Structure 1
């Protein structure tokens, strides 16, 4: 028994048995029919039964599924920065988080296409409560982050998670994806939570935190969707928060968000991976001796890397101009693009509800505001 058994993905030796147990599950069947619509069921089942490693499962099935998602619900994925990463090298990707499944899946197909090490990826246990979904996530090299814990349990869980991430990066040479904060960004304001960095530092064993982070090879990641496929689904929570109400998820909300993210229209998507943080960590170490101040400074560095490299789309500029009743960015979009966005606004929310309309627009406009903090000549 490993101390990581409760949170780790499958070992390769466990993969085939897990596939055999789930091969007739309706979700797997729907996924295979979506991915390989022309292929007879017995053929893809035969291929699955020959699968004995996570890499084979990801390359032969998950990769093809994500390509089909891109084909059917987007105008394509572009990337930048990957050419600066080294093959056979593990990195800690700290990413903004917009979509439950796609953020990490799109990063992984980009890593695969560039001949780089794919990631083990954090996923909240609230998303994998059903046995089959947990098994599928473990087949896709997800590791579990436990949610809703007491302060004492949270401390223990964070320590275990930190040690497991260290094991993946420094001992198994496996890259890791983790979101910059718990849960997806709903309002378009991507911000790193200090708790994530504090958790990562727990395995440093008393050594200097910045020296430890240097070993982890931190790479900030910015992913942006021209249309957020779950924009309307995020509105109830945004409305509750705006009215200072406690928001309670419906029973199928997470699953609906997963499906909405996969099947909903995204138009164009861009992923940028920043340079590995090195000089920045040296500077923080020189400037601050207090660990908490070091963490705060690193939060700012990660935020700046993500916000500055976030790819802005016409939808972002359109929303900014509508929200602020201005023509500041009219050269960034066409009238046709504006009319399409306004049509989306009308169809997806109650546009007569001014508060809801403003929240929807702000979701798209906030990345422009954030980028203006670093460059007023967008």
Structure 2
């Protein structure tokens, strides 16, 4: 057993009985479980937990049920198209844009279960593990921990270990992984792959940079929410950062974002998987300087994600509103425009700031919906090098 990863990896299946008992004994976990399943006595939930022998069994018994309920209550439907990956047995690293703290990876796993495919291991930042029970719960739910707030030296060591863990997960465990293309969500929905994510992935494995990234079987994944329930919170954050130079989000802010993302209305949600990029990686010049290689690979992943967005009427309407034109008016009706602009007004009303700059905030929210369309159009016209 490789003990190097013990601090960050999901629990092994044989560790689950002990962790289940710790969760069952935790009053905070009990309170949350009772709130999520109000019609089921907690002792019955505890017995069901104890009957789960593997992490996948636990996911199917609990997480699947919870996430299906969120999908039913807060969306008009969640869909996944992974026909670009014909192989159901191989392990892939799904690198995606990041919209919702919990549901990006959650909905993906639910849809994979429905297609009779194994769920993913999930990269999750330790800044979100606010309570001890959350840290235990996510590790039962096949998450591995991304350590944040470290010194530069600690960060290098932590990144190298995480990279080795991810290579081990893909290569030795044949277990797929989900990771966001950047640290944190793109607040303006202008999705770009951070080269630091690729550099981290290239720390583990064998050979040169291209060999190491090829070993990870990267499959870019585009996630498209018709509505982002956190749009008003993101806009609010833009104004706070503008007005308070050293503004930092608190744990309470993170909790509010998680809660709003879970319970807010999302409209249609679509996951579109691109083919694995190994063939394109093979065509790159191995002798290129590292910065040039990472730049080309991140641009490649961005193109794949941008070209696979699902574009909704709101994206077209927001783009037209910002440009002051009717360039995309054939893509929406007058009724859809009225409904979308009413939604924007309702979201603006939810922002609680003393010196609320409504024109600035409105522009920021519209930009969140226009940027995916802007990037989609560019990706569709660009021809890969």
Offset, 1:369: 1.1
Structure 2 alignment gaps of length 5 or more: 350-355
| C-alpha distance 82-110 of structure 1, shift in aligned 2 (>3 A) | farther
For 2:211 and 2:101, the matched residues in 1 are separated by 31
For 1:342 and 1:186, the matched residues in 2 are separated by 20
For 1:35 and 1:321, the matched residues in 2 are separated by 41
| C-alpha distance 34-327 of structure 1, shift in aligned 2 (>3 A) | farther
Offset, 1:146: 0.8
For 1:324 and 1:25, the matched residues in 2 are separated by 53
| C-alpha distance 204-243 of structure 1, shift in aligned 2 (>3 A) | farther
For 1:27 and 1:276, the matched residues in 2 are separated by 41
SS in 2 for 1:285: coil
| C-alpha distance 337-37 of structure 1, shift in aligned 2 (>3 A) | farther
1:102 aligns with 2:125: no
Using the size of structure 2 for normalisation, the TM-score is 0.92
Answer yes or no: is the 8 Å Cα contact 2:77–2:268 preserved in 1: yes
1:75 aligns with 2:76: yes
For 1:15 and 1:312, the matched residues in 2 are separated by 42
For 1:326 and 1:162, the matched residues in 2 are separated by 47
Q: Deviations over 1:295-324 (max 9, x none)?
A: 111001000000110111111111111122
Corresponding residue for residue 65 of structure 1: 66
For 1:72 and 1:258, the matched residues in 2 are separated by 16
For 1:15 and 1:171, the matched residues in 2 are separated by 21
Corresponding residue for residue 262 of structure 2: 262
Corresponding residue for residue 362 of structure 1: 367
Answer yes or no: is the 8 Å Cα contact 1:31–1:65 preserved in 2: no
- Once the two structures are overlaid, the 10-residue window that deviates more, 308-317 or 82-91, is 82-91
Offset, 1:37: 4.8
Query: Would you identify which runs of 4 or more consecutive aligned residues in structure 1 move more than 6 Å?
Result: none
SS in 1 for 2:292: helix
Corresponding residue for residue 202 of structure 2: 201
Answer yes or no: is the 8 Å Cα contact 1:16–1:53 preserved in 2: no
For 2:95 and 2:27, the matched residues in 1 are separated by 33
| C-alpha distance 83-301 of structure 1, shift in aligned 2 (>3 A) | closer
For 1:32 and 1:251, the matched residues in 2 are separated by 21
For 1:169 and 1:31, the matched residues in 2 are separated by 33
Corresponding residue for residue 3 of structure 1: 4
Aligned length: 375
Using the size of structure 1 for normalisation, the TM-score is 0.93
1:308 aligns with 2:307: yes
| C-alpha distance 239-291 of structure 1, shift in aligned 2 (>3 A) | same
Corresponding residue for residue 131 of structure 1: 132
For 1:217 and 1:175, the matched residues in 2 are separated by 9
For 1:246 and 1:150, the matched residues in 2 are separated by 19
